[in-house]
Amino acid sequence: MFMKRILIAAAALAYLGFLAVLGAAYLIGLKQAAAWPPAGAGRAIADKDLPKVEKNVRQLEKRMSGLLPKGLYIVIDTAENRLYVKNGKDIVRTAVVSCGSGVVLEESGGKQRKWVFDTPRGEFSVKSKISNPYWVKPDWAFIEEGESIPKGLEDRIEAGTLGDYALGFGQGYFIHGTLYTRLLGRNVTHGCVRVGDEDLKAIFKTVPMGAKIYIY
Amino acid sequence: MKKTAKIAVIILAGLVWTAPASSQDKGGLVKKQNSLSSEYSLAKDSAFYFVLDILGRKLELRVRGMVLRSWPFQSMRFWGRPDLSGNVELVRKTALKAPERIVIKPGGDAEKVEPAPAPTGTNPAEFDLEALELKDMPKKFSLDFDNGLRILVKAKTGASGGLLGSIREGWRWYVDLPLRNLFGPHTGAGLSELELTFDNDKNAQSIYWHFFDEIKGIIL
């Protein structure tokens, strides 16, 4: 009976101790939260320094606005599969597209190469504009189909697959048309950006060579 | 005539008298200068960066000073050191169920990647593809930064993990983190953990999609 009481007292003491420590932890947390800087707070400055700071802010704002792309540019959201043609802050056109599938293709034999079918992300520019493009099938296109890789260039050329137009943005990547219009809005490509016929035509006609492309 | 003169004097006084900037305005101006300066150092390169505006309750993905995506968060809570502001770099993205890429090895076990035509009558936005898509991204994950800050991103719905998940989450937030915050500084590692809750699943998932390792950013 005595031992039982001792045990209960010890357990109660341990519990109270734990609560006390937890209470102390919450007090520390509240103290830290009180040190959170209020909105707009910053280092105080003397009145005489105010014009200098204002001038700096104006200069920085000017520099920042100078970084924005000039004229028409393209923005592609690979997660939402959307392409926007923009001019400044205005959206000129929105298109539903298909971006890279993220799939990894591994070559079983031969050189045992590996491809990751991601649409590259970053800042690019329109490097080429092609009407009635032909697709020069790369090695992965044959490996994926389980076919042998042809030696001659003529065996790699395929017409009609890329639609009526293509805009190249480097490293073999293009914004082009598609036969799989039902899959627009899904991530299905090997890295290129597929666009529906009507949107592709409009993009091709309006976006000039050298225009910036931002893919994120 | 006398009345007109009085009005003119009042207007002139209003034009001539300019109130000195309050200390809060001045402090705000210095903060703006610092944040613009930090952002310019990132924006002059072509890489994407993020801006986490804690008091403005939004997270933004930017390039060249231009906002690409903005994710307003519904709520936030915090444990630890509040001195978060400054430039940071993402070190690690951790999720309980991180998405995995589909690997295809023709001649091996897997099949070809080009999607088969969708079953007739099926909405193309619904059927499963052999691809990594936004819907495959986790709704709850953490982002660890080089300054020791950890940000837990979660969607309001679909990330609780049921009753067990809620208990685990409660224990972590109300017991584990306060204790780690209390004892952490003595071991040299100050705790700094921020939890951001987003309105819908897609917002949390797209942050996982767009935040790649080593992305730099500014916390305001």
Q: What is the pLDDT of residues B183-214, one digit of tens each?
A: 875 555 578 889 999 998 899 999 999 998 89
Whole domain around residue A140: which residue ranges? Answer: 70-215
Q: Do A103 and B212 touch (CB under 8 A)?
A: no
User: Is residue A199 in a domain?
Assistant: yes
Domain that holds residue B196: 25-219
Residue B61 to chain A, least CA–CA distance (Å): 9
pLDDT at B136: 93
Q: Tell me whether residue A138 is in a domain.
A: yes
Distance of alpha carbon B87 from alpha carbon B90, whole angstroms: 10
| Contact (CB, 8 A) for A188 and A180 | yes
Task: Give the pLDDT score at A1.
Answer: 78
Residue A163 falls within a domain, yes or no?
yes
In chain B, the number of structural domains is 1
Render A134-201 in DSSP notation, one character per residue.
EEE--HHHHHHHTPPPPSSGGGTEEESTT-SEEEE-STT-EEE--S-GGGTTS--BSSSEEE-HHHHH
Q: CATH number, domain at A165? A: 2.40.440.10
Asked whether residue A7 is domain-assigned, the answer is no
User: Which residue of B lies nearest to A79 if distances are taken between CA atoms?
Assistant: B134
Among candidates B23, B113, B124 on the partner chain, residue whose Cβ is nearest the Cβ of A182: B124
> What tokens appear for B109 in the block?
């076990």
Q: Per the domain annotation, does A201 fall within a domain?
A: yes
pLDDT at B18: 45
Residues of chain A with pLDDT under 70: 36-44
Between CA B113 and CA A191 the distance in angstroms is 13
Tell me, yes or no, whether B18 lies in a domain: no
Q: Establish if B61 belongs to a structural domain.
A: yes
- Do the domain assignments include residue B16? no
Cβ–Cβ below 8 Å for B82 and A32: yes
Q: What is the tens place of the pLDDT at every residue in B80-139?
A: 877 778 899 999 999 988 899 999 988 765 444 444 444 555 565 666 788 999 999 999
User: ipTM of this model?
Assistant: 0.84
Average of pLDDT values for B63-91? 90
Q: What pLDDT, on the 0 to 100 scale, is given for residue B216?
A: 94
Q: Is A75 a member of any domain?
A: yes
Which position among A85, A175, A192, A213 bears the catalytic label? Answer: A192
User: Residue B5: inside a domain, yes or no?
Assistant: no
The answer to the question of residue B123 being in a domain is yes
Reported as a pLDDT band with limits 50, 70 and 90, residue B21 is: low
For the entire predicted model, the pTM comes to 0.82
Q: Which range, B3-12, B24-33, B59-68, B96-105, has the best average confidence (pLDDT)?
A: B59-68
Per-residue pLDDT for B9 more than 60? no
Q: How far is A108 from chain B (nearest CA, A)?
A: 6
pLDDT averaged over chain B?
81
DSSP code string of B150-209: EEEEEESSS-S-HHHHHHHHHHIIIIIHHHHHHHGGGGT---EEEEEEESSHHHHHHHHH
Catalytic residue among A86, A129, A137, A176: A176
CB contact under 8 A, B64 and A123: yes
Is pLDDT of B22 > 90?
A: no
Q: Into how many domains does chain A fold?
A: 1
Chain A partners of B119 at a C-beta cutoff of 8 Å? none
Residue in chain B nearest A68 by alpha carbon: B64
Q: What percentage of chain B carries pLDDT values higher than 90? A: 40
